[in-house]
Structure 1
């Protein structure tokens, strides 16, 4: 896929470049010709975690929360940041307390916007913000959730939600600086990274490798309700391609879109495909009479089996930090969601986005890449 080329070449700036979504966007930008994007400025707290070879990439390792706006601008000057035309914001810090989460994630975005305005000003064509289904209250449960399928103009739930703060902030800055903006809301993001907080595919792959090593079946760790519900998946590459498409088309300017793979995803459909990929015999899942009782508690189970995994790492000469790239608590939550989580794609379709992704294939592409990265055997 390529974007529509403008009369002058574009320059992208990706904030949160080491996360699943940031890597997805860098991969997508690398697909573009030099005449469409001549430079890709990448910003993250840690040095670049994944080996990406493209001479357009300029990587800035800086702690945005600790740095001043002027410190960030100084780094952007070295990357010729005044030429930035498109900003993509994925930086995220997880906090258990909602008020604290709101504060830090507002600060992250505000510094990114202030630095962008200071160095690039009127050169900026579009700022793109990724939020997600938490906007619709999915983390709070059905009593707080918007009606399904979720639509972009759904009313906000009561109380604090950092996505509300961020979306309001991006609109304010776009208006003040005469920029266009796009906001996208994906759900469960499937992609690769090293140490990203919401890293479900990595966790799943490591769990499967442990089961394989133990000679045990690929037991679905969650409960029966989670096995059967529809759970929207938003593959990182598909998200990024949509976000780039939306950010470079005038007719999608200043709009908000749900984005997911477009297929109906249930774990009961995915799981046999995972069994096949990792070489397991098919296992008939044995759920409890209590439909909300998990078959195993993943974060406890993986802690108990850490030594098994360490043996796999040694024998296959894998990345020593691989276990720490997984997010067991988050994965345990996802495997036990008891209610459907579905967003309406009608708006994206109406504006011309026709792509549908096979989510199972997206997982398999991730697993293949994790093997190349020596994260799993």
Structure 2
């Protein structure tokens, strides 16, 4: 595919949510000498200060702490770089109890960042990548008031499936980006369960399981599967954060990828039932194999 090349000015990235699983992998990938159109100049941002564990392989050219939900704070912190940034990699999220609240807060965050970067006198902003996920096809599964009545799409999930008739902050963010076309382009990246390394990520399933296993070992409890019978028995897939990062970058610099959505998974499937039987067993914790009545 044809890539967007600029020999005079190197692209400058702003990763919003750089301390999450996808954000860390993006920082590492963009700074790599083998990155498409790279290595890039990279600014990373998060709501909290740079953590001491932030890896040297993800070293950014500038780390910016700001609250994207606060327009004044966003303007103050991003204005100094607003004339530099060419690409925004949006991997940020704030989670509320209801999906209506998720729509409001996440849409406000993205709108504030775009407002500041696009209003710069010499704005170079050309593309934004948006990290979403399978909630696009399943509906707001984390909203207890909505989840009981959800009727999701049947797999396999295809990018051209119609939207579901439920509130979904992914839809709101896509619509917001589309409203800025043609002054900038965008791409949407729909992952499955993300596998990556970050203690700050809200949805770090591997870290959650590791903490759960540690608690079970400490208490001498059985390491029981914490999910449902359905997830125990049915196929699942995952998305490596490093693969996601490569897809983000590819779409950001490839002309034919403008204003499109892409699924991104590792390509293999598994069941939690088969995985659980392969996990190491501590003698104090006990066997991991579960009988049907032990499932939730």
For residue 246 of structure 2, what is the aligned residue in structure 1? Answer: 241
CA distance in 1, matches of 2:32, 2:273: 34
CA distance in 2, matches of 1:167, 1:224: 33
**Once structures 1 and 2 are overlaid, which stretch shifts more, 101-110 or 271-280?**
271-280
Q: TM-score, normalised by structure 2?
A: 0.84
For residue 26 of structure 2, what is the aligned residue in structure 1? Answer: 25
- The Cα shift of 1:212 comes to 3.2
For residue 209 of structure 1, what is the aligned residue in structure 2? Answer: 214
CA distance in 2, matches of 1:142, 1:263: 30
Moved over 6 A (4+): 276-281
Would you say 1:60 and 2:64 are equivalent positions?
A: yes
Q: How does 1:249-260 map to 2 (within 5 A)?
A: 249-260=254-265
In 2 relative to 1, CA 81–143 (structure 1 residues): closer, same or farther, beyond 3 Å? closer
Per-residue deviation, residues 197-234 of structure 1 (Å, max 9, x unmatched): 22211110111223334455533223433212112212
Aligned residues: 284
For residue 144 of structure 2, what is the aligned residue in structure 1? Answer: none
CA distance in 2, matches of 1:24, 1:279: 36
- The Cα shift of 1:271 comes to 2.0
Would you say 1:125 and 2:126 are equivalent positions?
A: yes
2:161 to 138, 154, 157: 154
Q: How does 1:68-87 map to 2 (within 5 A)?
A: 68=72, 71-78=73-80, 80-87=81-88
1:195 to 194, 200, 215: 200
CA distance in 2, matches of 1:20, 1:67: 25
Contact 1:10 1:39 in 2 (8 A): yes
More helix as a share of residues: 1
Contact 1:186 1:258 in 2 (8 A): yes
CA distance in 2, matches of 1:220, 1:258: 28
Per-residue deviation, residues 80-126 of structure 1 (Å, max 9, x unmatched): 44221211111211011221111111101111111221238652232
- The Cα shift of 1:143 comes to 5.1
In 2 relative to 1, CA 55–31 (structure 1 residues): closer, same or farther, beyond 3 Å? same
- The Cα shift of 1:60 comes to 0.6
For residue 327 of structure 1, what is the aligned residue in structure 2? Answer: none
In 2 relative to 1, CA 223–92 (structure 1 residues): closer, same or farther, beyond 3 Å? closer
CA distance in 1, matches of 2:233, 2:284: 23
Contact 1:16 1:90 in 2 (8 A): yes
- The Cα shift of 1:172 comes to 1.0
In 2 relative to 1, CA 123–279 (structure 1 residues): closer, same or farther, beyond 3 Å? farther
Q: TM-score, normalised by structure 1?
A: 0.67
For residue 232 of structure 2, what is the aligned residue in structure 1? Answer: 227
Q: What 5-or-longer segments of structure 1 have no aligned partner? A: 295-377
CA distance in 1, matches of 2:208, 2:101: 26
More strand as a share of residues: 2
For residue 144 of structure 1, what is the aligned residue in structure 2? Answer: 151
CA distance in 2, matches of 1:10, 1:266: 41
In 2 relative to 1, CA 61–228 (structure 1 residues): closer, same or farther, beyond 3 Å? same
In 2 relative to 1, CA 166–211 (structure 1 residues): closer, same or farther, beyond 3 Å? same
For residue 46 of structure 2, what is the aligned residue in structure 1? Answer: 44
For residue 90 of structure 1, what is the aligned residue in structure 2? Answer: 91
CA distance in 2, matches of 1:255, 1:278: 50
**Once structures 1 and 2 are overlaid, which stretch shifts more, 125-134 or 213-222?**
213-222
CA distance in 1, matches of 2:162, 2:118: 30
- The Cα shift of 1:41 comes to 0.7
In 2 relative to 1, CA 166–72 (structure 1 residues): closer, same or farther, beyond 3 Å? same
